[in-house]
Amino acid sequence: MQQDYNPAEIELEVQKLWKDSTVFRAVEDPSKEKYYCLAMFPYPSGQLHMGHVRNYTIGDVIARFQRMQGKNVLQPMGWDAFGLPAENAAIKNKVPPAAWTYDNIDYMRDQLQRLGFGYDWDRELATCTPEYYRWEQWLFTRLFKKGLVYKKTAAVNWCPVDNTVLANEQVIDGCCWRCDAVVEKREIPQWFMKITEYAPDLLKDLDQLEGWPEQVRTMQENWIGRSEGLDIQFDIVASDESIGIYTTRPDTLMGVSYLAVAAEHPLALAAAENNPTLMDFIAECKQMETSEEALETAEKKGVDTGLTAIHPVTGDVVPVWAANFVLMNYGTGAVMSVPAHDQRDYEFAKAYGLPIKQVIEPAGSEECDLGKAAFTEKGKLLNSGEFDGLTSADAFGAIADFVEKNNKGQRQVNYRLRDWGVSRQRYWGTPIPIINCEKCGSVAVPEADLPVRLPENVIVDGSGSPIKSMPEFYKVACPTCGGAAERETDTFDTFFESSWYYARFTCADNNEAMLDERADHWLPVDQYIGGIEHAVLHLLYARFFHKLMRDEGLVSGDEPIKNLLTQGMVLKEGTKMSKSKGNTVDPKGLIDQYGADTARLFIMFAAPPEQSLEWSDKAVEGASRFLKRLWKAVYEHVEAGEVIALDKSALSDEQQDMRSKTQQTLQKMGDDIGRRHTFNTAIAAVMELMNSLAKFEDDSPQGKAVRQEALEIAVLTLSPITPHICHVLWQALGHNEVLVSVSWPDVDESALVQDNIELMVQVNGKLRSKIKVAVDADKASIEALACADEAAQKFMEGKTIRKVIVVPGRLVNIVVG
């Protein structure tokens, strides 16, 4: 064994051994319990960042730990390779997105290998290859025929100067990020997936996801947003038209003082023809951003359309306003407004002098002052004619019955979730496999013609997608009538690719089918690890895709992911590491200087996985120092010569204590890594063990045997985290087999039993003393011992004992007064 720890040398050697022996190749084996461990695949942006290092280290630790538990582990890796940054890089560097992406993948693959992650590289995939995306094109055409996809117009951000569609991210304060022109909303035809049809399923099956963090399930539940309410029709005065609205508060129906419609609502557009003020307002609304955040935080504005509507119950006439806070794409594009009982309506009514009519009064002692704010609680009805006196709950039914009987509306379950718009007007994505024919309409590309390949040798200059000006791409014959037709030139949202890659990893080499029987062997994913930022969108789309694939007979099972771990961000100086802030730390420098094991150890030690992690150069040195100490401890032990077998019956008290510490550590490591995923406390436990061992200066034959055991446990339990150094140390400790094939050791329970334990003694809840008692002492004797304790008695002088609380194994609290 070498005297000094030389990470660069041993890590490359051990990595070569793993590669040559193909230990991480996953082969289906029905005789072993399977374990599918998946970390969210990266976007190949150029180089790994610390967030990746953290994500993939967590995954690798769990995978290696499960392997030691005897599981047949699948841990794959691939590339989420389509996306916007490739186009931006293409414009900047004049390199085609494909070339840029493949170069990045090559570089980043090397980085991952240098970190020693145990991936099955045979299953590697990149979503930008036709071998991958052809299958989502294929699935899309099946869903098209099933009626689960459809086309409708929807708004996009349009930069009138660059003549291009902008992502929300590229709109800064309502202006284009590159040319600063004011961005407009533009309505264009786009493809949608009917995710709302699966909303009840997506909601219900959240109950199955016991291995998911509660917060993620709650966020998804709120995002889906099931509500029960009433669809109601308001007829327009002097017209055949009517406005449909949806409300979850029918009890407030008598308090409606106006209706609000979206600026792009057909009735508003028609009314604007001879109303210049309304026309100006509609034009102004065109310059709003499309994001919900911008919409909700913008000042609420509106204009009277001049139209009026008839209240379906009272027959009263109410005005119709056009308002900037009503979304045309959401629901019916119209809402009823009850200023007395909705805060947003209240503020709008105050600003525009609209009436505020109270129809609900508090049923209890809640505060209600309509001079200050709306009363939004439920209560009792008033000013509501025949419904007066009903509770909000009873009024819901009564008013629903009334409206239904009079054919003015019906009960309705609604979801906040909207259908998924999958069209993108970008180049670097999966071509949507549809052909538009003047005669036949939208026609799916026949299966035999798939994949629709994306031309890769192109120039991207920021003036829109190059395939939109490539006749050789879009000019085709209609598959149905054979006439001249045009291919769809939009591409899929990149969430499309990431929604099913977890399944494709199980059979990435199948060129005949999207998935095969191996999908059912490996799925569901036993552990998925990724950033909390994906809590709703990516994870909801993946769940949706799984149900789509299930209903196509491609997978069985309702849910794709059994256990989810959401990791926090990596920060420096309290903020997210980013290029623009110039506070990034390149993993390359870290590995070159300290090695992969130190990088892995630091990042797992600095914080528990769910929390954000503060970067610290000094703490990295600390991690490196610990590994040097570990190396030295093994070196000195090995140099001290032969070790005899441990004889448990012949140990001194100190030797027993050391053994006890070793076994406690083993137990804690298994629990911390396997169940709690608190790798930071696991590492702290090994550090404690090593600190104890440093103080254990017993060179007798049995002392050396005890030390041998402690070092073996330290090396084995640390090996999922720092696998390279542990591999070498394990062999130095006299073992011939390779560490990756060694099982997790069993705890020797007999070493954990204690005769005496220490109890805290409190007086009135404050710690005053400690007593030693037998582990099986009864309550009465513990009470007596505590009350007789000298230090405790000082605080009891002149007072009477009111109560004594004994918490077994923990403390005694004497309450005096």
Cβ distance to RNA smaller for residue 212 or 387: 212
From 26, 326, 525, 613, residue interacting with RNA (rule: CB under 7 A) = 613
Q: Contact, 246 vs 414, CB < 8 A?
A: yes
Contacting range for RNA; rule: CB under 7 A; set: 137-145, 262-270, 513-521, 569-577: 569-577
Q: How far is CA 810 from CA 592, 634, 759, 770, 792, in A?
A: 48, 37, 5, 10, 16
Cβ distance to RNA smaller for residue 302 or 319: 302
Instruction: Give the interface size with RNA as a residue count (CB under 7 A).
Output: 99
149-178 binders of RNA (CB under 7 A): 156-157, 165-170
- Judge residue 34's burial from the number of C-beta atoms within 10 Å of its C-beta, 0-12 exposed, 13-18 middle, 19 or more buried: middle
From 394, 516, 621, 748, residue interacting with RNA (rule: CB under 7 A) = 621
Query: Strand, helix or coil at 354?
Result: coil
From 629, 638, 657, 674, residue interacting with RNA (rule: CB under 7 A) = 629
Backbone angles phi, psi at 449, to 5 degrees: -90, 0
Query: Strand, helix or coil at 215?
Result: helix
From 764, 777, 787, 793, residue interacting with RNA (rule: CB under 7 A) = 764
532 binds RNA (CB under 7 A): yes
- Judge residue 475's burial from the number of C-beta atoms within 10 Å of its C-beta, 0-12 exposed, 13-18 middle, 19 or more buried: exposed
From 6, 208, 406, 616, residue interacting with RNA (rule: CB under 7 A) = 616
In the complex, minimum distance from the CB of residue 195 to RNA, in angstroms, rounded to a whole number: 7
Q: Contact, 758 vs 752, CB < 8 A?
A: no
Question: ω into residue 96 within 30 of 0, thus cis?
Answer: no
760 binds RNA (CB under 7 A): yes
Q: Which residues contact 751 (CB under 8 A, 6 or more apart)?
A: 648, 656, 659, 660, 662, 663
626 binds RNA (CB under 7 A): yes
815 binds RNA (CB under 7 A): yes
316-355 binders of RNA (CB under 7 A): none
CA 694, 700, 706, 711 dihedral sign is positive
270 binds RNA (CB under 7 A): no
405 binds RNA (CB under 7 A): no
Show the tokens assigned to 484: 């001249």
- Judge residue 485's burial from the number of C-beta atoms within 10 Å of its C-beta, 0-12 exposed, 13-18 middle, 19 or more buried: buried
654 binds RNA (CB under 7 A): no
Question: ω into residue 312 within 30 of 0, thus cis?
Answer: no
773 binds RNA (CB under 7 A): no
204-223 binders of RNA (CB under 7 A): 214-215, 218-219, 222-223
Contacting range for RNA; rule: CB under 7 A; set: 384-392, 443-451, 488-496, 737-745: 488-496
DSSP assignment of 264-307 equals T-HHHHHHHTT-HHHHHHHHHHTTS-SSHHHHHHSPP-EEEEEE
From 110, 388, 517, 614, residue interacting with RNA (rule: CB under 7 A) = 614
533 binds RNA (CB under 7 A): yes
From 185, 226, 300, 416, residue interacting with RNA (rule: CB under 7 A) = 416
Contacting range for RNA; rule: CB under 7 A; set: 2-10, 418-426, 544-552, 697-705: 418-426
Instruction: Give the residues across from 225 on adjacent strands.
Output: none
694-713 binders of RNA (CB under 7 A): 694-695
478 binds RNA (CB under 7 A): no
619 binds RNA (CB under 7 A): yes
577 binds RNA (CB under 7 A): no
Distance CA 584, CA 441 (A): 51
Strands 613-614 and 570-572: parallel
135 binds RNA (CB under 7 A): no
Contact map string, positions 580 to 609, toward RNA, x by CB under 7 A: -------------------------xxxx-
- If one counts every other C-beta atom within 10 angstroms of the C-beta of residue 777, the result is 17
From 494, 506, 598, 719, residue interacting with RNA (rule: CB under 7 A) = 494
572 binds RNA (CB under 7 A): no
Contacting range for RNA; rule: CB under 7 A; set: 113-121, 362-370, 450-458, 674-682: 674-682
Nearest of 534, 530, 500, 495 to residue 219 by alpha carbon: 534
Instruction: Give the residues across from 421 on adjacent strands.
Output: 192
Cβ distance to RNA smaller for residue 439 or 779: 779
